[in-house]
Amino acid sequence: MVKPNAESSASDLFEGVRYRPGSVEAALTAKCRSCYAPASLKIHNRVAIGLVAGVLVGAYFGEAASILEPLGTLFIKLIRMVIVPLVAASLVVAIAGLPGRAALGRMGLRAFGFILVSLFLALIIGISIGSLLSPGTTMSAAARASLLEGQEVPDVDPDAPRESLVDTLVGIVPDNPIRAAVEGNVVQVLLVSILVGLAASALPADKRKPVVDLSRSVAEMFVKITGWILQLAPFGVFGLMAAVVGRSGLSILWSLSAYAGVVVLALVVHIVVVYGVMLRVVARQSVGRFLDAAKPPLLITFATCSTAAALPVSMAAMEKSMGLSSRVASFVLPLGAAIGRDGSAIYQAISVLFIAQVYGASLGAQGLTSLIVTAMLSSLAVAPVPAASFVNLTILLAALGLPIEGAALVLGVERPLDMLRSSTNLVGQLVNATWVGAAEHELTPP
């Protein structure tokens, strides 16, 4: 069975507050079974085979391997097809499913505040390290020229007049929501979906339920469609890598290794600097005791690439080993599993920069601002499907006007990076619960 390697949608996890924690994993597993047929090889193994096969074919046949590129183009177009409805429906369900009155309390404000500040810092760290080390520039000029041949890449003039930050923010509001959806303006769709979700959450239960049920049905339908499309990922990666290696040579592999190393470095910096300071200085808790408590859920998350799968263990470990009250654990941890994705944000920020560098496109201050805003909004709408962060990456590329085909360059190392970024997500969620527990005086020695 192909297991989900992404985080659960927010509504599913918030439902975990209202019933036994152990049922969260069961619900996700049941949903996963309904979306994907059993396979002899897991999806990441098949993608790896497609990657290696594409590299070998491209290296052997050279330019002639470009004939296989339509396989990758078809895969990318199918992914692009489901982005808008999947994001819109998932986000409405996520927002409308928030536990309204509880989320407005002091504990909720602290938990939300940590998530937003930590997510913003994660994006700043990812953008800073990705820009400083520039892994995409390790490709030779000749290889880059071959890669860009026939590609439409945005030409950014650094001297051209730019919109102000105010104009950029105003531009997020659509004149016509239907037109925004038709044109695929993901940022505007995100804003409209958030407003619809907030409005639905303010309705009485009997009027809110039809909206949530309809949105959930639409989201699950496109989850299923996305699952079918992702079964084609090995063929798409094979076609794109064969064409890329055929045009640019094996130097693309060195750039890919540099990219993976930069992602790992940024994750480590975020854990040590942001989480370490928050845990030791702000929450004033022992790092050793925290690591002992985090070890069981961390192992599960690392193996499954899902903090949702580790949620029951996280709650039990934090209550038993850290002395966290069940009231804090049952609210903050499901909330964090729903929208706490610092590791994913770092991965996406560096991936966008890497792809822009490979294609020779400069984002500039306006592009980086759009990247931060879009990444923070889209983190609420990650669906429970394999390679959901890859789907989210295509959302960011589309919003910034970068070639979505570039996402296939990083799909080959998706699995190992997913294990690391999911583990980073979990550490952030546990630190958040520890800080809230300490601030609420509901964290006592076991």
**358-400 pLDDT, tens digit each:** 887 888 887 888 888 888 877 665 544 445 677 778 778 877 8
Residue among 20, 24, 57 nearest 336 (CA): 24
The answer for residues whose C-beta is within 8 angstroms of residue 90's C-beta and 6 or more apart is 9, 219, 381, 382, 383
pLDDT value at residue 386? 44
Q: b/e for 271-280, b at 16 or more Cβ within 10 A?
A: beebbeebbe
Cα distances (Å, whole numbers) of residue 105 to 101, 271, 439: 7, 28, 13
The three-state secondary structure class of 443 is: strand
- Short-list 236, 222, 233, 235, CA closest to 385: 222
In sign, the C-alpha dihedral spanning 5, 6, 11, 13 is positive
Closest CA to 405 of 179, 72, 176, 106: 72
pLDDT at residue 82 in the model:
78
> In this predicted structure, what is the pLDDT of residue 118?
94
User: Taking CA 188 as the corner, what is the angle to CA 183 and CA 191, rounded to the nearest 5 degrees?
Assistant: 150
How many residues appear in the chain? Answer: 446
**Residues sharing a CB contact under 8 Å with residue 439, sequence separation 6 or more, in sequence order:** 110, 283
**Which residues share a beta bridge with 324?**
443
What HEC string does 283-344 produce?
Answer: CCCCHHHHHHHHHHHHHHHHHHCCCCCCHHHHHHHHHHHCCECHHHHHHHHHHHHHHCCHHH
pLDDT (0 to 100) of residue 248: 67
Contact criterion met (CB below 8 Å) for 174 and 380: no
Q: Phi first, then psi: what are they for 24, rounded to 5°?
A: -60, -50
Please state at what angle helix 287-304 crosses helix 311-321, rounded to 10 degrees: 170
In contact, 421 and 298? CB cutoff 8 Å? no
The reported pLDDT for the residue numbered 228 is 86
Distance CA 212, CA 197 (A): 9
Q: C-alpha distances in angstroms, 396 versus 227, 339, 371?
A: 20, 17, 7
Give the HSE-up count for residue 109: Cα atoms under 13 Å, Cβ half-sphere.
5
Round the CA-based radius of gyration of the chain to a whole number and report it.
21
pLDDT value, residue 432: 94
pLDDT tens, position by position, for the chain (446 residues)? 334 444 433 334 334 333 343 443 444 444 444 444 444 677 667 877 888 898 899 888 888 888 988 888 888 788 778 777 877 787 787 677 655 544 446 777 888 899 999 999 999 999 999 999 998 887 666 666 655 555 554 444 434 444 555 665 677 788 888 887 777 666 677 778 878 888 887 888 888 889 888 988 988 888 788 778 878 888 887 887 788 778 767 767 777 888 999 999 999 999 999 999 999 998 889 899 999 899 888 887 886 677 876 777 888 889 888 999 887 887 788 778 777 789 989 999 999 999 888 887 888 887 888 888 888 877 665 544 445 677 778 778 877 888 777 777 787 677 778 888 889 999 999 999 999 999 888 888 76
Q: Are the C-beta atoms of 148 and 244 separated by less than 8 Å?
A: no
Which candidate, 20, 14, 15, 12, places its Cα nearest to that of 326? 20
Give dist(CA 214, CA 217) in Å, integer. Answer: 5
Contact predicate 393/386, CB 8 Å? no
Place of tokens 């996700």: 28
Output the pTM of the full model: 0.68
Distance CA 413, CA 55 (A): 13
pLDDT value for 107: 78
DSSP label of 283 = S
CA terminus-to-terminus distance, the chain: 38
pLDDT, residue 255, reads 76
Domains of the chain, CATH where assigned? 10-439 (1.10.3860)
What is the reported pLDDT for 264?
96
Torsional sign, CA 272, 416, 132, 116: negative
Nearest to 142 by CA among 47, 249, 286, 61: 249
Tokens 């850290």 belong to residue: 322
Please tell me the distance from the alpha carbon of residue 414 to that of residue 111, in angstroms, as a whole number. Answer: 29
Give the integer Cα–Cα distance in Å for 136 and 192.
Answer: 34
Q: 348: closest CA among 308, 407, 427, 305?
A: 407
Amino acid residing at 67: I
